């Protein structure tokens, strides 16, 4: 099933990012409508819509807002998560670059709903060109009275600022993001207390992903029922999918969550199947942190619940597609390099474990592994999984656990044959050992 794009309807048109363009396409009507309603009605509406967080966990946004402490003399904050660092994920920057006013409108409505006056958009440091686009849009919004004091004569004040990170995947974790916003290392906090109670500067805060906030103006404008009707039960609304890897047409695709994963990979409207006519080997459906799906597991709706039933997670909806030239030991090594590098170092199982996993994987890939290394991998991964301060630990263990589960024979072949039997032409010429 296909759906007309909504969030990304105009992104390929010239000047789609300007205020003029946005206003010509019913821009800021959601905010206008919201400001005429009591804040609680907005929260209720978002709850009714069933909007689930697009950042990774799929937690209902309305509920998150409802948890934000009401009776407190402290200021409240919206923190928009624009860190977009999950490997395989590249959707939020499309929205920010080509439809920034939608995000700004979403931030303003979110502030109004929870009683905040300031929203910070935390953007990853590598997105400097995106930041410039956002800041240009913010200037326009301020000048036209869609932000600032007494917005459109409503008496509501709201400021939105962009805050630039400086290279740290872990800054995407919500409490680490808040630490980073406070000018510290991006290392997570112990939860509880949750940000809704004690977030930025110890004040009640809602942390929401860019795509999540971009859905809010649509819900306010078109109603909760319209939103739910766009997708399967509990998985309503438009969804952005990022498809990369060995596909013919990688890119960002917007569709309903009733679309199947198989369609996203092979459909004519989507990634159009494998590049170079190769055979599909595996798909990681939700960014690098989730379990692998095999080709025969793809005929399921690419919804939060559908992918979970298939044995993986939708995560950030970043599908990475691999063809049959891909060595799964190499894949685990590549991803563990990522996790070893990005571990924030705050808790032991993750800081030490990712180092060990990478070392063992390198040894096996190089052909110096032994059969008992497979059990060692399993054991180290098991000792990270579920035993860390933040969900990064589980994410780091996953590539090892999932490749061992589905492709144990490839690990064994490396040990038996003393090297990688599947050294594809797109890899380093030397052995993997030459990589640092």
Ligand X SMILES: Cc1cc2nc3c(=O)[nH]c(=O)nc-3n(C[C@H](O)[C@H](O)[C@H](O)COP(=O)(O)O)c2cc1C
Which C-beta is closer to other proteins: that of 12 or that of 191? 12
318 lies in the site for other proteins, by CB under 8 A = yes
Pick from ligand SF4, ligand X, other proteins, none: which does 250 bind, CB < 5 to 8 A by kind?
other proteins
Q: State the binding string over 30-69 for ligand X (x if CB under 6 A, else -).
A: -----------------------xxxxx-x-x--------
**Complex with other proteins: residue 215 or 354, whichever CB lies closer:** 354
Report the side by side order of strands in the sheet with 205-209: 159-164, 118-123, 77-82, 205-209
Binding site for ligand SF4 (CB under 6 A): 170, 187-188, 343-347, 350-351, 388-390, 392-393
Q: Nearest distance from residue 149's CB to ligand X, in Å?
A: 28
Under the criterion CB under 8 A, does residue 87 sit at the interface with other proteins? yes
Dihedral sign computed on CA atoms, order 295, 299, 304, 309: negative
Closest CB to ligand X among residues 270, 392: 392
Q: Please give the structure tokens belonging to residue 219.
A: 């819900």
- Order of strands across the sheet that contains 238-245: 251-256, 238-245, 318-323, 280-284
x-marked contacts with other proteins along 129-158 as a string, rule CB under 8 A: xx----------------------------
Distance in Å, CB of 312 to other proteins, minimum: 16
Nearer to ligand X, 108 or 151 (CB): 108
What does the per-residue mask of binding to ligand X show for 73-92, with x meaning CB under 6 A?
--------x-xxxx------
Among 102, 344, 357, 400, binds other proteins (CB under 8 A): 344
Whether residue 317 contacts residue 256, with contact meaning beta carbons closer than 8 Å, is answered with no
Q: Does 248 bind other proteins (CB under 8 A)?
A: no
CB-nearer residue toward other proteins: 37 or 435: 435
388 makes contact, choosing from ligand X, ligand SF4, other proteins, none, with CB < 5 to 8 Å by partner type, with ligand SF4
**Of 34-42, 219-227, 242-250, 258-266, which segment contacts other proteins by CB under 8 A?**
242-250
For the chain, the three-class secondary structure string (H helix, E strand, C coil) is CCCCCCCCCCCCCCCCCCHHHHHHCCCCHHHHHHHCCCHHHHHHHHHHHCCECCCCCCCEHHHHHHHCCCCCCCCCEEEEEECCCCCCCCCHHHHHHHCHHHHHHHHHHHHHHHCCCEEEEEECCCCHHHHHHHHHHHHHHHHCCCCECCHHHCCCCEEEEEEECCCCHHHHCHHHHHHHHCCCCCCCCCCCCCCCCCCHHHCCEEEEEHHHHHHHHHHHHHCHHHHHCCCCCCCCCEEEEEEEECECCCEEEEEECCCEHHHHHHCCCCCCCEHHHCCEEEEEECECCCCCECHHHCCCECCHHHHHHCCCCCCCCEEEEEECCCCHHHHHHHHHHHHHHHCCCCCHHHHHHHHHHHHHHHHHHHCCCCCHHHHHHHHHHHCCCCCCCCCHHHHHHHHHHHHHHHHHHHHHHHHHHCCCCCCCCCCCCCCHHHCC
* 84 near other proteins, judged by CB under 8 A: yes
Q: Write down the least CB distance from residue 222 to ligand X, Å.
A: 19
- Contacting residue, 1, 70, 128, 416, with other proteins by CB under 8 A: 128
Binding residue (CB under 8 A) for other proteins from 24, 70, 184, 408: 184
326's contact among other proteins, ligand X, ligand SF4, none, with CB below 5 to 8 A by partner kind, is: other proteins
Q: Which of 63, 275, 391, 413 binds ligand X (CB under 6 A)?
A: 391
Min dist. Cβ of residue 99 to ligand X (A):
17
Binding characters for ligand X, 200-239, by CB under 6 A (x = yes): -------xxx--x---------------------------
Cα 277 to the chain's mean position, in Å? 30
Task: Name which of 84 and 170 has its Cβ closer to ligand SF4.
Answer: 170
Q: CA angle 303-307-310, nearest 5°? A: 145
Q: At its nearest, how many Å lie between other proteins and the CB of residue 168? A: 5
30 binds, among ligand X, other proteins, ligand SF4, none (CB under 5 to 8 A by kind): none
**Residues in touch with ligand X (CB under 6 A):** 53-57, 59, 61, 81, 83-86, 170, 172-174, 207-209, 212, 390-392, 395
């Amino acid at each position: 099933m296909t759906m007309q794009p909504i969030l990304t309807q105009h992104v390929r048109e010239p000047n789609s990012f300007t205020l003029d363009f946005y206003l010509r396409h019913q821009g800021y009507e959601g905010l206008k409508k919201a400001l005429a309603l009591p804040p609680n009605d907005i929260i209720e509406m978002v709850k009714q819509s069933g909007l689930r967080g697009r950042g990774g966990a799929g937690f209902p946004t309305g509920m998150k807002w409802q948890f934000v402490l009401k009776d407190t003399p402290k200021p409240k904050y919206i923190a928009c998560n624009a860190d977009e660092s999950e490997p395989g994920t590249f959707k939020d920057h499309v929205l920010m670059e080509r439809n920034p006013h939608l995000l700004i409108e979403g931030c303003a409505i979110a502030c109004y709903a929870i009683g905040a006056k300031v929203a910070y958009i935390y953007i990853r440091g590598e997105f400097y060109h995106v930041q410039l686009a956002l800041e240009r849009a913010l200037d326009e919004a301020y000048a036209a009275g869609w932000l600032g004091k007494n917005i459109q004569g409503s008496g509501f004040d709201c400021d939105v600022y962009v805050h630039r990170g400086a290279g740290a995947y872990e800054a995407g974790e919500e409490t680490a993001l808040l630490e980073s916003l406070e000018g510290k290392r991006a290392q997570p906090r112990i939860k509880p207390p949750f940000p809704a109670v004690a977030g930025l500067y110890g004040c009640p805060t809602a942390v929401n992903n860019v795509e999540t906030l971009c859905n809010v103006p649509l819900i306010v404008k078109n109603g909760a029922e319209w939103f739910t009707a766009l997708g399967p039960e509990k998985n309503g609304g438009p969804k952005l999918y990022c498809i990369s890897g060995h596909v013919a047409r990688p890119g960002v695709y917007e569709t309903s969550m009733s679309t199947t994963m198989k369609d996203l990979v092979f459909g004519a409207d989507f990634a159009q199947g494998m590049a170079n006519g190769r055979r599909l080997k595996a798909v990681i459906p939700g960014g690098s942190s989730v379990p692998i799906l095999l080709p025969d597991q793809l005929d399921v709706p690419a919804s939060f619940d559908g992918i979970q039933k298939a044995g993986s997670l939708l995560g950030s909806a970043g599908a990475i597609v691999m063809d049959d030239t891909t060595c799964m030991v190499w894949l685990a090594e590549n991803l563990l390099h990522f996790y070893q590098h990005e571990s924030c170092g705050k808790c032991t199982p993750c800081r030490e474990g990712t180092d060990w996993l990478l070392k063992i994987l390198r040894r096996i890939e190089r052909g110096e592994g032994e059969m008992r290394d497979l059990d060692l991998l399993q054991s180290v991964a098991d000792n990270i999984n579920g035993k860390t301060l933040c969900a990064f630990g589980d994410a780091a263990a996953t590539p090892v656990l999932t490749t061992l589960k589905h492709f144990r024979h490839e690990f064994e072949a490396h040990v038996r044959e003393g090297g990688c039997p599947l050294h594809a032409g797109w890899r380093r010429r030397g052995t993997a050992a030459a990589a640092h």
